[in-house]
Amino acid sequence: MEKYFSILEKVKLFDGIEQADLGQMLNCLEAKVIIAKKNKILLRAGSKPDQVGIVLNGMVQIVKEDADGNRMVIGVASPGEFFGEALCCAGVEESPVSVITCEDSEIMFLEFGRILRSCSHSCTFHRGLIENMLQIIAQKNLILQNRMDFLSKKTVREKVLTYLKSVAANSERHFSIPFNREELADFLCIDRTSLSRELARLKEEGVLDYWKNQFTLLK
């Protein structure tokens, strides 16, 4: 297990846990590491999620399939990130999503029940784990909420402006965004060319100025 310590250190769930305690903790949580080939199913939709997965290396996709069998990727997890935690915490019986490796990967699984319930050794880190978990999920919550703010807008213009303003709120009138055009369009769930067109209009109207991923809100 020790060889994974360097990556485990970066896992948010373990924030504040002493490196020295890591070994005992993993033991207590019944940590198991599996080596998975590409396209291996780690969690099957419909089954009950009772483990939290941590990506040690490689990459996994969280996918959802609708009734017609169309596969939709709703998220990915890279090394240091994890999956299944919200499902476990919510206590769902049938997972609405599947989790699949999209590269050869190493995955660590923790028994969720062991995170919540202190073991007989009364390990001191359980409280920290739970607090971290609470914080992680709550933050995810806020991100989703925030994202809904502009997804709920009807027009392209509103979506873009709402997004840009929400970014600007945290910084200056001049700022850069972590997306190129296509990614931004995907993020806002709109067509790329419609986005470009609307940005051009906004610039022409003097509402904002931009160059590549650098934006300035005017007025």
Partner DNA sequence: AAAATTCCGTGGCATATGCTACAAAAATCA
Partner DNA sequence: TGATTTTTGTAGCATATGCCACGGAATTTT
Q: Which residues bind DNA (CB under 7 A)?
A: 154-157, 180-182, 190-194, 196-200, 210, 212-213
According to CB under 8 A, which one of 91, 124, 201, 205 is a site residue for a copy of itself?
A: 91
For the chain, what is the HEC assignment? Answer: CHHHHHHHCCCHHHCCCCHHHHHHHHHHCCCEEEEECCCCEEECCCCCCCEEEEEEECCEEEEEECCCCCEEEEEEECCCCEECHHHHHHCCCCCCCEEEECCCEEEEEEEHHHHHCCCCCCCCCHHHHHHHHHHHHHHHHHHHHHHHHHHCCCCHHHHHHHHHHHHHHCCCCEEECCCCHHHHHHHHCCCHHHHHHHHHHHHHCCCEEEECCEEEECC
Is residue 20 near a copy of itself by the rule CB under 8 A?
no
- Under rule CB under 8 A, which residues in 37-76 are in contact with a copy of itself? 64, 66-67, 74
- Under rule CB under 8 A, which residues in 144-203 are in contact with a copy of itself? 144-149, 151-154, 162, 165, 168-169, 189-191
According to CB under 8 A, which one of 135, 155, 180, 193 is a site residue for a copy of itself?
A: 135
- Whose Cβ is closer to DNA: residue 81's or residue 210's? 210
Q: Which does 167 bind (CB under 5 to 8 A by kind): DNA, a copy of itself, none?
A: none
Q: Which does 152 bind (CB under 5 to 8 A by kind): DNA, a copy of itself, none?
A: a copy of itself
- Parallel/antiparallel/unpaired status of strands 208-211 and 214-217: antiparallel
Is residue 93 near a copy of itself by the rule CB under 8 A?
no
Residue 54, beta-bridge partner list: 82, 108
Is residue 86 near a copy of itself by the rule CB under 8 A?
yes
Q: Which does 197 bind (CB under 5 to 8 A by kind): DNA, a copy of itself, none?
A: DNA
Binding site residues, a copy of itself, CB under 8 A = 64, 66-67, 74, 85-92, 96, 116, 130-131, 133-135, 137-142, 144-149, 151-154, 162, 165, 168-169, 189-191
